[in-house]
Amino acid sequence: MLSLQNMFVNPSGECDSKSAADSERTLYPYVTGTSVVAVKYKDGILMAADTGGSYGSTLRYKSVERMKAIGKHSVLGASGEISDFQEILRYLDELILYDNMWDDGNSLGPKEVHSYLNRVMYSRRNKFNPLWNSLVLGGVKNGQKYLGMVSMIGVHFEDNHVATGFGNHLARPILRDEWREDMSFEEAVKLLEKCMLVLLYRDRSAINKIQISQVTEAGFNIFQPYALKTFWGFSAFENPSKGAVGTW
């Protein structure tokens, strides 16, 4: 016999059985954030993401912050399902708390946190209960800069610049052409803003309100969100065929 807590009415009005484990799974994303872009620069790591949250195809929320400091040395950025990102942050809070309880003068660096995230995402994928996020983890410890990403199925790598979502297709070509290891803070911010502007013009889920975080040997700083200036007065919008051969 089915208990009341295992019964629910689906949208068609039919009554089905549902286990407690099923009700805890993200079967498909509801509220999602789009691309995260990050680069190494002369003094550390810079990461950028917009603050939009899409409810399905509707850009419902305009002030969703998707970058969080992890421990003393790292910042984590996420695209994908916002509630699953909150679950990942809960895992990391427990990890950092357990690490602090040792009180041995050491603390987890970005490489260790990235390795932990790899195992979490791959484990959840193997249980057919993935966390619907792509993650970017950047940090600096003992003078060593670290920047890596991990996908929702546990695919992971480390690089000088990384991106998630549409950023993989639209931002990384720009980064390959213009990134330099000795970039100053101002140059790196300008490059990230260029990438975010390209994404804004081509990604329907992006907005022009962005947030940038910085990690150096001295610590981290997550700056307040601000709006990028946009320009939509392209002549092609007024007359797409203007200047083309054979037009009138």
Residues noted as catalytic: 26
Question: Which H helix or E strand runs over 7?
Answer: strand 7-9
Three-class SS state of 88: helix
Rounded CA separation 179/189 (Å): 11
Q: What Cα–Cα distance (Å) separates residue 30 from each residue in 55, 63, 118? A: 6, 16, 23
Greatest C-alpha distance within the chain: 77
CB contact burial 120-133 (16+ within 10 A = b; e otherwise): bbbebbeeeebbbb
Torsion, Cα 178 184 186 191, to 10 degrees, reads 20
Q: Which of 196, 165, 207 is nearest to 188 (CA)?
A: 196
Residue with tokens 């970058």: 67
Neighbours of 5 (CB within 10 A): 10
